[in-house]
């Protein structure tokens, strides 16, 4: 890096195998709109979920094209709903334990795991580091950077609840993928964007994904 250049400091986005790939897409789009650099880690299990929920095969050799197609798709499955520039994204294979995010010396603002499966939650809480997604989360915790975990499962058993408490104790923020309705949702994309917005709120990233509560009853039902 030359003198005067700004060091790239991305948000690491980890996508686990839980259902909810539209949540991940909404978070990724909003980060890019906000001008943030992104490092993307897609777990092996999440590729199966993505294929099942969208019909998109996420391939290492063609990840940029596949990511562009994914992020362009609306939560209702309609293609070409959004226009997205994926140039600020750097992709790391989940099996690459020598990747940049595996080290605390790698500059990163923090990490967002969306959606987070119960297996992913357990792996991070126990420090298993079985793949790059879990290892990067462990690094973020040890470096005292922001870790936001958007858990997507129902119902939650005692073991998973204990793992979530452990993550909270370690400094992570747990955001259940639980959409609210006070913001005036009229479309599935509105519900997805609400969850994505709460994830970004926890990370401190500005966005306009949902209507915020202003202390007035009925505000969500008003026309803009």
- State pLDDT tens for residues 109-158: 999 999 999 999 999 999 999 999 999 999 999 999 999 999 999 999 99
Angle in degrees, CA 51, 54, 59, rounded to 5: 45
> How many CB atoms neighbour CB 28 within 10 A?
25
- Both tokens of 41, joined, read 């880690």
- Planar angle of CA 187, 42, 97, nearest 5 degrees: 160
CB atoms within 10 A of CB 49: 21
pTM of the model: 0.94
Average pLDDT, the chain: 95
Q: Which helix (H) or strand (E) holds 189?
A: helix 188-203
Query: Which are the contacts of 119, defined by CB distance < 8 A and separation ≥ 6?
Result: 16, 17, 45
pLDDT at 4: 46
pLDDT tens for each residue of 19-65 = 999 999 999 999 999 999 999 999 999 999 999 999 999 999 999 99
What letter does residue 111 receive in the DSSP assignment?
Answer: E
Mind giving me the DSSP string for 5-57? PPPP-PEEEEE-SSS-HHHHHHHHHHHHHTT--EEEEE-HHHHHHHHHHH---
The answer to whether the peptide bond before residue 155 is cis (omega within 30 degrees of 0) is yes
Residues 6+ apart with CB under 8 A from 168: 174
CB 125 within 8 A of CB 63: no
């Amino acid at each position: 890096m030359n003198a005067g250049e700004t060091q790239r400091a991305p948000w690491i986005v980890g996508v686990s195998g839980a259902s909810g790939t539209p949540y991940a897409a909404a978070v990724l789009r909003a980060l890019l709109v906000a001008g943030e650099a992104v490092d993307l880690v897609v777990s092996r299990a999440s590729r199966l979920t993505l294929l099942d929920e969208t019909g998109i095969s996420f391939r290492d050799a063609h990840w940029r094209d596949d990511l562009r197609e994914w992020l362009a798709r609306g939560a209702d499955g309609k293609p070409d709903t959004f226009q997205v520039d994926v140039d600020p994204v750097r992709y790391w294979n989940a099996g690459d334990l020598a990747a940049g995010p595996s080290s605390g010396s790698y500059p990163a603002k923090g990490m967002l795991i969306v959606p987070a499966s119960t297996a992913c939650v357990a792996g991070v809480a126990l420090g298993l580091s079985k793949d790059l997604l879990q290892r990067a989360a462990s690094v973020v915790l040890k470096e005292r950077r922001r870790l936001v975990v958007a858990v997507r499962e129902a119902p939650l058993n005692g073991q998973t609840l204990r793992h979530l408490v452990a993550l909270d104790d370690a400094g992570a923020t747990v955001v259940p993928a639980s959409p609210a309705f006070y913001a005036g949702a009229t479309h599935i994309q509105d519900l997805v964007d609400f969850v994505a917005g709460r994830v970004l709120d926890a990370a401190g990233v500005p966005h306009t994904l949902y209507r915020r509560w202003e202390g007035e009853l009925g505000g969500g039902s008003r026309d803009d």
